[in-house]
Chain A
Amino acid sequence: MSNASSMSNASSMSNASSMSNASSMSNASRMSNASSMSNASSMSNASSMSNASSMSNASSMSNASRMSNASRMSNASRPSGPSGPEPAIHVEHLHRRYGGTVAVDDVSLRVEPGEVVGILGTNGAGKTTTVEMIAGIRRPDRGRVRVLGLDPQRDRARLRQVLGVQLQEATLHAALTVSELIGLYRTFYPDPRPAGELLELVGLEQHRGVRFEMLSGGQQQRLSIAIALVGRPRAVILDELTTGLDPRARRRMWTTVEHLRAEGVTILLVSHAMEEVERLCDRVVLLDGGRVVATDTPAGLVTRTGAMTLDDAFVALTGKELEVAE
């Protein structure tokens, strides 16, 4: 117990240092601005000794700083560049409040086709509200969402055909068996996956005749994911993929996600398990207090904060410990 607390102390200490690292990022960029300024001034100094030199100094300085600003911005916001394909999921300036509480505050994110992106954050960071708005289950107060080129509110029916959703805290008919549930949800789609294939994918072949209420938590979760995949979706939203699963079931779930990735399915997964995000995700969107704090590859987050692990990077960027996934 005391070990655990001292460990968390240690990590929060390293946090403090990595936080200053994070802030030094902007220092670095300012430094690069400074160096280009000095370059510019030394050039203009070399070229002329007239009074006009101060003017040319000024203009070349501002040019240099604008350029580096521009390159920084494009690096941060669109890794694939403006000429790349239309993103599978594109969210811009999403806002949502419940009463007086702002749940989602100006969230923007992109998921490229075939990409696996994780939304990471503590409880109450706005993860679930964000994905529910992407799935068209919740209406945003403000902002724009496009999923596979469709507006989740206007093109609701068409989106349902191509987007698979596994919701947090949504169960299935308790008294129906695994086979009956798969059979039911298969009838909702024009070209459903065969039931056997789905059961094999999530490892429930041996439980066809078991009622949903008699399945273990992990088995229920796996069935819920199988049902998200019934309609051969091109994009899938998985909310709290492995929360409540034992380590073995969790690994099994990860393998399932890797299968999907190999099939080219775009995946947006909500998680608060670092190990999961590190293993599965191409990129991570870090949410804190309803805002995007960072978007990067898992490795990129670690490097940019100067942290040793993704866990430390998370704390560096949010100032919060991530809960241990129960």
Chain B
Amino acid sequence: MSTRTSNWTSNWKSTRAGARTAAARPGASAWLNLVVCEAKMVVRDTAGLVVPLVLPLLILVMSAQSAGDQVVTGDLTALEVYVLPLVLTIVLATIGVINMPSFLAYYRRTGILRRLSATPASPLMVLVAQVVVSVLQAVLGLTLALAVAFLVFDARVPEHLGAAVAVYALAMAAMYAVGMVVAAVAPTPSSAVAIGLVTFFGLGALGGMFGGSSSLPGPVATVGERLPFGASVQALGAAWVGSPVEPAHLISLGAVTVAGVVVAALFFRWD
């Protein structure tokens, strides 16, 4: 009984001390550890990893042979002008619009975000870590696709390499922002997958995923080019050919990024 009493007083004193000291925020090691843990989650979800890494490769392999023979301008073929921009955009869209939201919706559904909000870590850290892992995933998907394109199909490096990299980064931001909106509005993990898939195919269809935007009715093609998928394909294609990237495409990607982040921030629920 006396030990309990002394515990009471020491507890109370340290309580007062604790009330005065500033709270330490989780540091670099927490961030690093969380990113590693999120990466493990993504890698261990093998089925989810196959889609963004293997599906684009499959499309590349199936269309590269014939596309490589269709000369579009100079010594550039349809492979560089159309197929590679499309494949690389699919990598971004599958990761950003389908995979990432399904993880975040699952974290909300199972109370992981709520659990984290009861620790010094913020659930926002999980969102950031997921984005970081998604970026790494996109780089991996990009590397795989380009390696196959360069080594097997003799594709050429973009004429404007810097512009291509910048467009790719901006397209990634736009796709992940769309994904954040999906994660924000989807009530369950399976609805996140459903909304993600519909969004992916919708953006893809309008953006020329099924046979090029030239086969779409004029106004539809124009709308598609203003959406992130079409804008990404067009802008990457332009950078590859060496022609100036149309400002309209960049503005579209930038606007989608900003709007997506704002909408997600307004509607995101933590539990």
Q: Which A residues are within 8 Å of any B CB, using their own CB?
A: 85-86, 88, 112-114, 135-137, 148-150, 155, 157-158, 160-162, 165, 167, 169-176, 180, 183-185, 187-190, 231, 234, 263-264, 266
Asked whether any CB of chain A lies closer than 8 Å to the CB of B23, the reply is yes
Question: B119: which of A158, A180, A183, A231 is its contact (CB, 8 Å)?
Answer: A231
How many Å from the CB of B176 to the closest CB on chain A? 21
Q: Which residue of A lies closest to B24 (CB)?
A: A190
How many Å from the CB of B11 to the closest CB on chain A? 4
Assembled-state Cα–Cα distance A199/B243 (Å): 61
Provide the B35-71 mask, 1 if CB < 8 A to any CB of A, else 0: 0010011001100000000000000000000000000
Chain B positions within 8 Å of A137 at CB level: 114, 117-118
Q: Which residue of B lies closest to A156 (CB)?
A: B23
Knowing that A114-B8, A170-B115, A173-B37 touch, tell me 4 more A-B residue pairs with CB under 8 angstroms: A85-B9, A113-B11, A158-B18, A162-B15
Is A188's CB under 8 angstroms from B7's CB? no
Is B37's CB under 8 angstroms from A161's CB? no
Knowing A114-B7, A264-B11 are in contact, say whether A162-B18 is a contact too (CB < 8 A): yes
Is A176's CB under 8 angstroms from B41's CB? yes
Main SS of the interface on chain A?
A: loop
- How many A-B residue pairs lie within 8 Å, measured between CB atoms? 116
Chain A positions within 8 Å of B117 at CB level: 137
Is A86's CB under 8 angstroms from B15's CB? yes
Question: B44: which of A86, A148, A155, A175 is its contact (CB, 8 Å)?
Answer: A175
8 contacts between A and B (CB under 8 A): A88-B11, A137-B117, A148-B18, A149-B18, A167-B114, A170-B110, A175-B45, A231-B120
Asked whether any CB of chain A lies closer than 8 Å to the CB of B267, the reply is no
Q: Which B residues are within 8 Å of any A CB, using their own CB?
A: 4, 7-12, 14-16, 18-19, 21-27, 29-30, 33-34, 37, 40-41, 44-45, 110-112, 114-115, 117-121
Main SS of the interface on chain B?
A: helix
How many Å from the CB of A149 to the closest CB on chain B? 4
Chain A positions within 8 Å of B120 at CB level: 157, 160-161, 188-189, 231
Assembled-state Cα–Cα distance A135/B271 (Å): 15
How many Å from the CB of A115 to the closest CB on chain B? 8
Is B18's CB under 8 angstroms from A161's CB? yes
